[in-house]
């Protein structure tokens, strides 16, 4: 399964266009534009599995900086500040990595 099986290619492209400039990435806005904010918990877990590059069950800071490139090969790398902000928003237990439940928690916070 690929991300385009779960998300519209045009929505992914729009989300990537929105954050082309360094330090313009907003996880909340990216989730909204890409359509991730409308996905169910099970769909988000599948997206998470695809984004978990080393299949460790977690997305660590080193993986997170390449987040946009998981959506499109030529996308930019997140800046250090963007990576830290994203990690802080989704790391619900403070262990320095994001589990699938962290993505769900982040999604919940975006909606409420």
Instruction: List residues forming the annotated binding site for Ca(2+).
Output: 52, 54, 56, 58, 63, 91, 93, 95, 97
CA–CA separation, 29 and 17 (whole Å): 12
Q: How many CA atoms lie within 13 A of 47 on its CB side?
A: 27
Would you say 89 and 26 are in contact if contact means Cβ atoms under 8 Å apart? no
Centroid of chain to Cα 95: 18
Token readout for 108 is 């919940």
Return binding residues.
52, 54, 56, 58, 63, 91, 93, 95, 97
């Amino acid at each position: 399964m690929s991300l385009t099986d779960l998300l519209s290619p045009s929505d992914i492209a729009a989300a990537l266009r929105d954050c082309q400039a360094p330090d313009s990435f907003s996880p909340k806005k990216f989730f909204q534009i890409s359509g991730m904010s409308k996905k169910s918990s099970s769909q988000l877990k599948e997206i998470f599995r695809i984004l978990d590059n080393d299949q460790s069950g977690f997305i660590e800071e080193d993986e997170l900086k390449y987040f946009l490139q998981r959506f499109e090969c030529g996308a930019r790398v997140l800046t250090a500040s963007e990576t830290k902000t994203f990690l802080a928003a989704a790391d619900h237990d403070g262990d320095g990595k994001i589990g699938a439940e962290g993505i769900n928690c982040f999604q919940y916070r975006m909606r409420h």
